[in-house]
Structure 1
Amino acid sequence: MTADSPRNVLVRFAPMIYGPTLLFALGEGAVIPLIPVIANRLGADVALAALVAAALVVGQLCGNIPAGWAVARFGERLTMGVAGIIVLAGLLGIVFAQSLAFFTAAVFLIGFCAASFALARHSFMTTRVPLTFRARALSLLGGTFRLGMFVGPFISAALLAIFGSETASIVFFAVCQVATILLVFFGPDPEKAVPVGAGSPTGRGAGDSRDAEDTGEPVTGAIPTVERVGVFRTMWRYRGVLARLGLAASSLSAVRSARQVVLPLWGVSLGLDAGTIAVVVGVSGAIDFALFYASGQVMDRFGRLWAALPAMVLMGAGFFALSFTHELSSAAMWYAMFAAVLGVGNGLSSGILLTLGADVAPPTDPAAFLGSWRTLTDAGGAVAPLIVSALTAVASLSVGVGAMGLVAVLGAAGFIRWVPRYVPRSR
């Protein structure tokens, strides 16, 4: 496999990895905007509807560690297939929910199973993709998901215009999910088609040692053993890298998540109409999507830090600068400008969390470690909107936005300190 060109290998992955990713993201992207709408119809006010929508993120956060156990125990293919079937049950719950509690549980279940999809793909790519173009492969994975989440809402809008009911979008997600399950179970088996070990590091990383406890020092040699250990034992063994590089990665996830919340809120606070806000957010998202593969190229050619650091600096500067423009006469112009800056920063960060997780994970059995890694990064994404909301309530939206700029600065410092220590210079 290492003799193949990157293009040939990535094309080979299309039906195994990128196809299911795109289908799942299209369906999820079509349904996510409807969750608050359905919750409101079931009796939730605005605040409670936002809490119900957050159940999707909370479900994914809670699902990462069980998903790590399932992938390590049963393999990527079976885990993805079973998770897909459970997602169908969650969609049925959404359609037939008569109470807000039942609806929230169904949303949580879909998020819980989404973690299994994400972790199974991440684990597969970690063990099968050659190190020479690992970042490009994982950036393409992230870009495929972003494409689905970007296009999905437009498909949902079209279905609503045609059928006039949210059920049409839910059925669309179900159709995408059935196609995903068929592709997973009856398409090429990625675990058989591509040998394990293709993605093993050629250098030395923090995750290469499987028997020694992680004391926080970089590992200087590889130990050829394939012993499987439990999820919580893995968390303890690699506590050093998780507490250091993992927290830096969590800060990047927080800044990304804050961007999704801040841009619409900022537009509302300026008194802009929904159409203008949608255009600004859409342009920012388009810039973000356009840069996803460039991030992988930078990481593969120059190293991980050369993508992580500019992304954090750009987003941190964007948040800081935006926080001082609210009362200016040209506030709307600055809003559009810094939304574009945040889009560039977010685009440059595409695939970084996936790639760093793969770099420091145990190369022969990464699933349990990646469950912990993804829990940290998802926690950062889940906490960020709460921080913005709390600071806005206590002080102002400008203070909340400025705080996310500070998080970005601290995260950039963490990357400067820990990426060279845990990720070999060859990466």
Structure 2
Amino acid sequence: MPSPPAPASSTSTPFSLRKIAVPAFGPSLLFGVGEGAILPIVPLTARDLGASVSTAALVVGLISIGSLLNNIPASLITMRWGERWAIVVAGIWSALGMALCLWTSHLGLFAAGCLMVGMSQAVYNLARQSYMTEAVPIMYRARALSTLGGVMRIGMFAGPFLAAAAVHAFGLPAAYVVGIIGVLGAAAVGARIPDLEAPPIPAGQSAPASATLASTLKDHWRVFLTVGIGVVLVSAVRASRQAVIPLWAEHLALAPAVASLIYGLAGGIDMLVFYPAGKVMDHKGRRWVAVPSMVIMGVAMLLMPLTTGFTTLLIAALAIGFGNGIGSGMIMTLGADHSPRHGRAHFLGVWRLMSDIGASGGPALLSFLAATLSLSAGIAVTGLIALAAAGALAYWIPARRAGAGSAAR
């Protein structure tokens, strides 16, 4: 077991991401596998339980809704129990939700299980981000959080393939078994994470007053209304991209297998570039990655309605995947940079709430514009939102965070 990593403020001992790879990133990989295993199966199970197409879509949406509603409670859980036990509780709660989905034949209980999975997602993500922010020195922060996000994406990518093999061999319920094994594995690895010690109080100073949610909002409202707005826009674009590619492929009358191939290739590019992007953020500053990420995605989406077939759509989709990939961990890194040492979980709870609001609002806006105007108009507006996000981040993020990259190797 690796020794506990140095606090973020300490640079007296050498630090290596490799030394903390298993305890830091192992739970994220397993949690991603667990969630990825069930996501494609949830609407199929809902339909088997008698749900209409629209109701099945709503049941799938309950996972995102559970995460959205539980961000603030997640901060309270993390503050009360600490990051390590919050990670363990999140894994167990997710497993219970998946078990309910597996063993129930009632649509209402199945929906409740999906909501539980979303709730656990909020607790896990906040606790993982809080732990990494505290454990990793600032000159390695972007690489650590980009890798954290990238590893989670790898797990989400691999999960459906593992579930597909299990479903082929044992039937539809086997996907939930794969999911349960994944999230319980994440909890087991998370239980072995070293506890973080509270930062020492400097000589001659008294202990700071306990932070509350209200005091966090009061002290950091400017950050939430500046960089935070940029984060809302980024999340809206990222969530919308998942619908943009398959919808436009269908508009071009491409076969479903071809649309899946394009989507998969874009996802592959997405997973290949997270670490180099994190290194650039550590050495050059956050703006060097945040702004290009949104510009690339924005331009690609503005050009997508002009595509006419497989090749041109593939180029646009790969550009979107590359832009999204270099932004892996960007929202977590910006949240970590602005979060206070005391009351960090409260700050990150609000930060993740804003991110989830954007992630919920983006696809809803795309759906509305597609229904009232046209799909091409909806995609173009999403591209404009990406460019607006780039402008907001370029204005509000410092060109280079003080001390970032000064000691990075």
What is the alpha-carbon distance in structure 2 between the residues aligned to residue 367 and residue 331 of structure 1?
A: 47
1:290 aligns with 2:277: no
1:415 aligns with 2:397: no
Pairs within 5 Å for 1:303-322:
303-322=285-304
1:175 aligns with 2:181: yes
From 84, 93, 96, the counterpart of 1:89: 96
Aligned to 1:260: 242
Tell me, what secondary structure is at the counterpart of 1:182? helix
What is the alpha-carbon distance in structure 2 between the residues aligned to residue 191 and residue 387 of structure 1?
A: 42
Question: Could you tell me which amino acid in structure 1 is paired with residue 369 of structure 2?
Answer: L
What whole-Å deviation, never above 9, does each CA across 1:28-53 have from its counterpart, x for those lacking one? 10111111111111222222211111
Aligned to 2:232: 250
1:272 aligns with 2:254: yes
Q: Is the 8 A contact 2:211 2:343 kept in 1?
A: no
How far did residue 224 of structure 1 move? 8.2
| TM-score normalised by the chain length of structure 2 | 0.91
Q: Is the 8 A contact 1:253 1:377 kept in 2?
A: yes
Question: Taking every aligned residue pair, what percent have the same amino acid on both sides?
Answer: 37
Aligned to 1:113: 120
Question: Could you tell me which amino acid in structure 2 is paired with residue 27 of structure 1?
Answer: G
Aligned to 1:209: none
Aligned to 2:407: none
Deviates more, 1:312-321 or 1:120-129: 120-129
Pairs within 5 Å for 1:100-139:
100-139=107-146
Cα 1:424/1:110, change in 2 over 3 Å: same
Cα 1:118/1:224, change in 2 over 3 Å: farther
Q: Which runs of 5+ in 2 are unaligned?
A: 1-5, 405-409
Q: Is the 8 A contact 1:126 1:366 kept in 2?
A: no
What is the alpha-carbon distance in structure 1 between the residues aligned to residue 137 and residue 199 of structure 2?
A: 8
What whole-Å deviation, never above 9, does each CA across 1:105-154 have from its counterpart, x for those lacking one? 11011110111111001011111211111100111101110110111111
Q: Is the 8 A contact 2:269 2:322 kept in 1?
A: yes
Q: Is the 8 A contact 1:127 1:197 kept in 2?
A: no
Q: Is the 8 A contact 2:210 2:342 kept in 1?
A: no
1:343 aligns with 2:321: yes
Q: Is the 8 A contact 1:140 1:292 kept in 2?
A: yes
Question: Could you tell me which amino acid in structure 2 is paired with residue 418 of structure 1?
Answer: W
Question: Could you tell me which amino acid in structure 2 is paired with residue 191 of structure 1?
Answer: D
What is the alpha-carbon distance in structure 1 between the residues aligned to residue 299 and residue 198 of structure 2?
A: 41
Aligned to 2:354: 376
**Number of equivalenced pairs:** 391
How far did residue 289 of structure 1 move? 0.4
Pairs within 5 Å for 1:196-215:
none
What whole-Å deviation, never above 9, does each CA across 1:140-196 have from its counterpart, x for those lacking one? 101110110111111111111222x221111111112222222223x2x3224xx55
Q: Is the 8 A contact 1:261 1:385 kept in 2?
A: yes
Aligned to 1:191: 195
Structure 1 vs Structure 2 CA RMSD: 1.8
What whole-Å deviation, never above 9, does each CA across 1:309-346 have from its counterpart, x for those lacking one? 10000000011111233xxxx43322111001101100
Q: Is the 8 A contact 2:75 2:349 kept in 1?
A: yes
Question: Could you tell me which amino acid in structure 2 is paired with residue 123 of structure 1?
Answer: S
Q: Is the 8 A contact 2:235 2:355 kept in 1?
A: yes
Q: Is the 8 A contact 1:303 1:426 kept in 2?
A: no
Question: Could you tell me which amino acid in structure 1 is paired with residue 117 of structure 2?
Answer: I
1:146 aligns with 2:123: no
Tell me, what secondary structure is at the counterpart of 2:328? coil
Deviates more, 1:40-49 or 1:290-299: 40-49
Q: Which runs of 5+ in 1 are unaligned?
A: 199-222
Structure 1 residue runs of 4 or more that deviate by more than 3 Å after TM superposition? 3-6, 195-198, 223-226, 423-427
What is the alpha-carbon distance in structure 2 between the residues aligned to residue 97 and residue 403 of structure 1?
A: 41
Cα 1:5/1:270, change in 2 over 3 Å: farther
1:395 aligns with 2:377: no
Tell me, what secondary structure is at the counterpart of 1:362? coil
Aligned to 2:20: 13
What whole-Å deviation, never above 9, does each CA across 1:240-283 have from its counterpart, x for those lacking one? 11111111011111111111111111111211111111110011
What is the alpha-carbon distance in structure 1 between the residues aligned to residue 50 and residue 237 of structure 2?
A: 32
From 38, 41, 45, the counterpart of 1:34: 41
How far did residue 417 of structure 1 move? 1.4
What is the alpha-carbon distance in structure 2 between the residues aligned to residue 333 and residue 227 of structure 1?
A: 59
What is the alpha-carbon distance in structure 2 between the residues aligned to residue 263 and residue 277 of structure 1?
A: 8
What is the alpha-carbon distance in structure 1 between the residues aligned to residue 323 and residue 219 of structure 2?
A: 33
What is the alpha-carbon distance in structure 2 between the residues aligned to residue 224 and residue 320 of structure 1?
A: 55
